[in-house]
Chains A and B, each alone.
Chain A
């Protein structure tokens, strides 16, 4: 295998032919008078996310029970919501394969996209975000940033080893270009606006 210096040398040889180009300044494209929560909700809808304003976890739990009455295994990554499978007790991520409903609190939302940001901190075990058949996500409505520029400008975003912008349930259009929800990851994602 090539060592680093040989590898870089090939690049440097080629760069002798290239004129250097300057790095551009990147604006944040924030718009005037944006109602972040409304914009966020418009894009959540486009991303096939059902959302509700609730004042307690109990309210959210009731809604999920009505939506998915056949749910058996519930696993939560946040202490606010108790499931029947304790995420702190699992030995391996694969043990979450039987989870019907996974729950976590997202760290913030991005209005432009209807995305929520989750990390190893909010997920505890990363796999819960992707093995769960369905997801319920809590979000403080005060934690919504305007767009991808403002999101990526948040300091310390990559201090965690894993972070993911999740935009709705999983999807694919690989078969006959027909959009289908519930590809490999979650089949549905429900979001509850609930202050922390």
Chain B
């Protein structure tokens, strides 16, 4: 798999025009601000975060027993549970269920897990039509792109982009950029398709071991349409979504949407404990690398993630790159720390796409130490020599110079002379010196502090 050049992708997003990066940054920063406001209205906010983290860590460290309990209770209620150890098995199981019901058209609500498994292209290749019901996902499906944000899949597109897309794909007026009328157009376009679907597929935000229930949170009601119309409902659920008890939902439902968008909850919080009368319900419980991650000492806590996207909204680097730069199902800070577990070579650059500001760690509702894990991934990449040869050599050189005081003094003098003797045409050349593309060089002084100190305070020399 070709290595993702995330820096280049991000630069392309920034330089395409003055509009896209500005809008993207503004909209996601607003989401962060709304999150802060929502949090300030809950006096027990920090307690809730601690509880959420503790519940997840307890569950993950007892995961085998909770999986067993969940499966037992789900099956009692007539849900068929399947086990997929990886993406290939997941897709095969989905296809097996669908084809056994002669399904030709499916509607689906958002599922990062299904995205991760590449389920849609797999099913389409087998002749099954797949329709995304979430508006953002539908926009991305029509654009032929991956979703760029976990919660707002098309947030990198302006309303002008969407107007152009809809004009092309569903015949609307390309000059009508009003979000309301664009939304209505898609509502009317998608609705007839819901009515003829043979099966509905969803993901699951949470899965309750105590009762065998899975929970799906949406703002549009599309998961409920997906579940209440066709006679077959398949839910893809990652093993890390399991929670022990019903009362755990009190904590998670209170923090999920507030962290994501600053709203108290999603418009619809739907709980499925068994099939509708006259219909069938299946769950594909999926591993796909999660149990392997559970064994990683530095990285297992990334399994606590509840997919809120708060880390993306706060990340100053993500806001200026857009999620597409990451070329992965998961982008932003959480993406950086879990994508290398899927493909360490393809995603070896991702951990470097961070200024290490640490804001992601601070907003995470389940206290994942994301910034530390980014650092730990860099250690892994360095050790496994996944980092560019030239960069490694540059650091080797830095190591030699900075660990040798006499050599350091020499280099300081050389730097001073170089910057002052060489013409600006060279020192400010963008290609030779990336610093200079957008910044003036700092003034290197002739007299260093050490020089000054020796001259003025010799008596204190140790």
Question: Which of A's residues lie within 8 Å of B, judged by CB?
Answer: 1-4, 6-8, 10-24, 26-29, 43, 46-47, 93-94, 97, 112-115, 120, 125-127, 129-131, 147-149, 151-153, 157-178, 180, 182-186
The chain B residue sitting closest to A3, CB to CB, is B83
Q: Which residue of A lies closest to B136 (CB)?
A: A174
Q: Which residues of B contact A6 (CB under 8 A)?
A: 83, 85
Binding site for A on B (CB under 8 A): 23, 27, 30-31, 44, 47, 50-51, 54-55, 57-58, 60-64, 67-68, 71, 77, 82-85, 89, 92-93, 133-136, 139, 152-155, 157-159, 162, 179-180, 182-184, 187, 190-191, 194-195, 208, 211, 213, 219-222, 224-225, 227-229, 239, 244, 246-251, 253-254, 261, 264-277, 285, 287, 291-292, 294-295, 297, 300
- How long is the Cα–Cα vector from A167 to B182 in the complex, in angstroms? 23
A112 and B264 form a contact (CB under 8 A):
yes
Nearest Cβ in chain B — how far from A78, in angstroms? 18
Q: In the bound complex, what is the Cα–Cα distance between A1 and B51 (angstroms)? A: 35
CA distance A142 to B211 in the complex (A): 28
Contacts of B157 in A (CB 8 A): 176
Given contacts A4-B71, A153-B247, 20 further A-B contacts (CB under 8 A): A1-B93, A2-B84, A2-B85, A8-B68, A18-B60, A28-B250, A114-B264, A130-B228, A131-B228, A147-B254, A152-B246, A152-B249, A157-B271, A162-B276, A164-B269, A165-B270, A167-B268, A167-B269, A174-B154, A184-B220
A190, B81: Cα distance in complex, Å:
38
Contacts of B84 in A (CB 8 A): 1-2
Contact A14 B224 (CB under 8 A): no
Query: Given A166-B268, A175-B154: A21 and B57 within 8 A (CB)?
Result: yes
CB atoms of A157 and B246 under 8 A apart: yes
Nearest A residue (CB) for B26: A177
Q: A15-B61, A22-B58, A167-B268 are in contact. Are A184 and B225 (CB under 8 A)?
A: yes
Chain A's closest residue to B57 (CB) is: A21
Question: Which residues of B are found within 8 Å of A1, using beta-carbon distances?
Answer: 82-84, 89, 92-93
Q: Is the CB of B250 within 8 A of A26?
A: yes
CA distance A20 to B287 in the complex (A): 20
Contacts of A169 in B (CB 8 A): 267
Find out whether the CB atom of A13 lies under 8 angstroms from the CB atom of B295: yes
How many CB-defined contacts (below 8 Å) exist between A and B? 266
B31: chain A residues at CB < 8 Å are 177
Among residues of A, the one whose C-beta sits closest to the C-beta of B134 is A174
What's the nearest-Cβ distance from chain A to residue B113, in Å?
Answer: 15
Q: List 28 A-B contacts (CB under 8 A).
A: A1-B89, A2-B83, A2-B85, A2-B287, A7-B67, A11-B294, A15-B63, A21-B57, A26-B250, A120-B276, A131-B229, A148-B250, A149-B247, A161-B276, A162-B272, A162-B276, A174-B139, A174-B154, A175-B135, A175-B182, A176-B27, A177-B155, A178-B159, A180-B179, A180-B180, A183-B183, A184-B220, A184-B222
Q: Which residues of A contact B179 (CB under 8 A)?
A: 175-176, 178, 180
